[in-house]
A and B are shown apart, each in its own frame.
Chain A
Amino acid sequence: MNKKNQKTEWPLWEVFYQPKDGKPFEHAGSVHAPDAEMALQNARDTYARRNEGIAFWVVPSDQIVASTPEDVGPFFDPANDKPYRHPQFYSVPRAVKKRK
């Protein structure tokens, strides 16, 4: 038990990467870094040693706002009673269907 509780902990950043041109960004994980510039460099060294990403976003973890599992029901239920948002809700004349 020598030195305990050293004080410096760099802030946490969430890392998102774009795997390929034209693809949407995905969450990769997180890194610790003192500032945005180093967060990007750490993200590259940690999550793209084999060109897994061609672009990165880093966001301070405490700036992410997420929905909570507890209110998943009420939060998403406005979508549940709207079958008319799906194409299957509508009928199409037989002749047109066949030509697909």
Chain B
Amino acid sequence: MDTQQQLDEFQKRIDNGETIEPKDWMPERYRKQLIRMMSQHAHSEIVGMLPEGNWITRAPSLKRKMVLLAKVQDEAGHGLYLYSATETLGAERRELVEDYLYGNAKYSSIFNYPTLTYADICVIGWLVDGAAIVNQTMLAKSSYGPYARANLRICKEESFHKKQGYEMLAKMADGTPEQQRMAQDAVNRWWWPTLMMFGPHDSDSPNSAELIKWAVKTKTNDELRQHFVDRMVMEAEAIGISLPDPNLKYNEETGHWDFGDIPWDEFWSVVKGDGPMNRERMRARRKAYEDGEWVREAAMEYARKKKLREGKAS
């Protein structure tokens, strides 16, 4: 059991702005919460490859195919940085992955929405990666060293993701009437689910206060969401796209944009597994994992035999 003295000393380190490293003493609950949060983040990066991967072969030009392929590959990298960081807490990679594929681990609900047209790819880069940047910029200052460093590495790559999406969307918004309609339709569908990415309101987010106390996070869900809305209103206006919220209004007093009610019923139903693509995503991920098993086995066996041969030769 963690003693009160240990807990106090730990909190003092946090309040001093110190970084916690894998071998340092930490409360069991800090470790548990980090494993939950970091592996959830890792699973999200990996499943996030599916909606965009869906369009790689149908991207409109060779250039756009190359860009999308590079972006999707980066997302795989993000997942790997995060799994690697989670393993420093004593978790095993395979356990983490299986807890997600066959157990209770969650991933970001945003990836349970379908990518219906190519305009969705533009909007994902702009909105979804845009929201991820807001979140991950904060996490790059997290109290747990390996998590902070993984997020720093991720942030360096995300601005390419966002800019390629924003650039394409701007082009579409400036294109033929049909392209304009496609662009606006995609924004209309993705706007609210993107706002949900920041998580429930602070009053409904049981983990938030604890994570802030431990400086794993330094801002609340609502603060991050507001920061995002303020920025996106400006960026949407700059390319002639409108945001599907009649209640968006600049508030002179706060200096922020007020926005309408988020459809939380939809959020909770997607989290519980009833979003438009939950089943399909899980099916695809399980299939990839199970179909890969023989490859992992064969590679291990090849490595073992090669070592044996080398042993004989010397």
Please give the residue numbers on chain A whose beta carbons come within 8 Å of chain B beta carbons, in ascending order: 1-6, 8-10, 12, 29-32, 34-35, 38, 45-47, 49-50, 66, 68-69
Contact = CB atoms under 8 A, between A and B. Distances in A.
Contact of A34 (B80, B87, B290, B303): B303
A1 B302 contact: no
B224 to A, nearest CB: 25
A34 B298 CA distance: 10
Contacts of B307: 35
B98 A4 contact: yes
Contacts of A2: 102, 286, 290
Given A6-B94, A8-B293, A68-B23, A31 B80 contact: yes
Contacts of B70: 49
Interface residues of B, number: 35
A66 B23 contact: yes
B300 A3 contact: no
B293 A6 contact: yes
Interface in B248-292: 286, 289-290
B234 interface: no
Nearest to B297: A8
B77 A69 contact: no
A10 B300 CA distance: 7
20 contacts: A2-B290, A3-B102, A5-B98, A6-B98, A6-B289, A8-B296, A10-B299, A12-B87, A12-B93, A29-B146, A29-B153, A31-B84, A34-B299, A34-B300, A35-B306, A38-B299, A45-B77, A46-B81, A47-B77, A49-B157
Interface in B75-105: 77, 80-81, 84-85, 87, 92-94, 98, 102
Nearest to B160: A50
B160 to A, nearest CB: 9
Interface of B: 21, 23-25, 70, 73-74, 77, 80-81, 84-85, 87, 92-94, 98, 102, 146, 149-150, 153, 157, 286, 289-290, 293, 296-297, 299-300, 302-303, 306-307
Tell which of A2, A8, A10 has the most Cβ of chain B within 10 Å: A8
Contacts of A32: 93
Contacts of A29: 80-81, 84-85, 146, 149-150, 153
Contact of B92 (A8, A9, A31, A34): A9
A50 B98 CA distance: 31
A38 B296 CA distance: 12
A69 B21 contact: yes
Tell which of A4, A10, A31, A34 has the most Cβ of chain B within 10 Å: A34
Contacts of B296: 8, 10, 34
Contacts of B286: 2
